[in-house]
Homo-oligomer: A and B are copies of this chain.
Amino acid sequence: MQPRYLKQAEAIKLDEELFHYFGVEQLMELAGLSCASAIAEQFPESKNVLVVVGPGNNGGDGLVCARHLKLFGFSPEIFYPKRPAKTLYQNLMKQCELFEIPVLSSFPVVEQLNSQYALMVDALFGFSFKAPVRQEFSEILNTMTQTSTPCCSIDIPSGWDVETGPLDPVTHLKPAMLISLSAPKLCAKFFHGIHYLGGRFIAPTLARKYELNLPNYPLTHNCVRL
């Protein structure tokens, strides 16, 4: 059974419904944890990880992911250029500081990425992304597309349209791995790398209501390869 791939409006509606029941901190914790688990499972030797953090909840998932990667014995670093003045994100950063996760003040150039990092985590944009990418982020994405360091995208590959996929046929981000959260979004149809599902917190009632056709996760695992 294949899971259903959601349109952007469906993903937003499911998200809104989840927040009738859950706090954002709860779901973000489980989402970020599942990303760290999938990465550790797939790239156990890639200890030097650069987590590229965007301004919204996708970035929050990235911050949680970085913290759990540290607990799993990885050496994550963070680049977080645009930080909204929200308690949620400030607390997540305070936690990263407690875990002594280095924060970069500028984005590495291509050669530095190639030589210093075994993996990049793309936590820039999530399922609510609307084109175009703003200047400051398009420069980062441009560098990310040029490096030989593999990239793992959280929920959607950043810069891709949530439904129609790559916006630029040539220069778009080509992640080696994608971790869809809750359910894949339509753009994942255009992705042909290592595809995981994480964010194991959907009640059976909601899975039925949204016809998600979720796969069976292994007993206690919080992520599953699709």
Q: How many residues of A contact B (CB 8 A)?
A: 32
Once A99-B203, A99-B204 are accepted as A-B contacts, the answer to whether A91 and B23 lie under 8 Å apart by CB is yes
Q: Does A71 contact B (CB under 8 A)?
A: yes
- Counting every copy of the chain, the complex holds 2
Closest to A37 in B: B220
Per-position 1/0 for A72-101, Cβ under 8 A of B: 110000000000000000010011001110
CA distance A36 to B44 in the complex (A): 25
Query: How close is A17's CB to chain B, nearest CB, in angstroms?
Result: 10
Report chain B residues within 8 Å CB of A26: 25-26, 29
* Chain B residues in 8 Å Cβ range of A41: 219-220
11 A-B residue pairs with Cβ-Cβ distance under 8 Å, sorted by A, are A21-B91, A21-B94, A21-B98, A25-B25, A25-B26, A29-B30, A36-B220, A41-B220, A71-B200, A99-B203, A100-B204
List the 8 closest pairs (A to B, CB-CB), nearest first.
Answer: A37-B220, A98-B203, A99-B203, A23-B25, A26-B29, A25-B25, A40-B220, A25-B26
Given A71-B200, A99-B205, A100-B203; 12 other pairs, CB 8 A cutoff: A21-B91, A21-B94, A22-B91, A23-B91, A25-B26, A26-B29, A29-B29, A36-B220, A71-B217, A72-B219, A98-B206, A99-B203
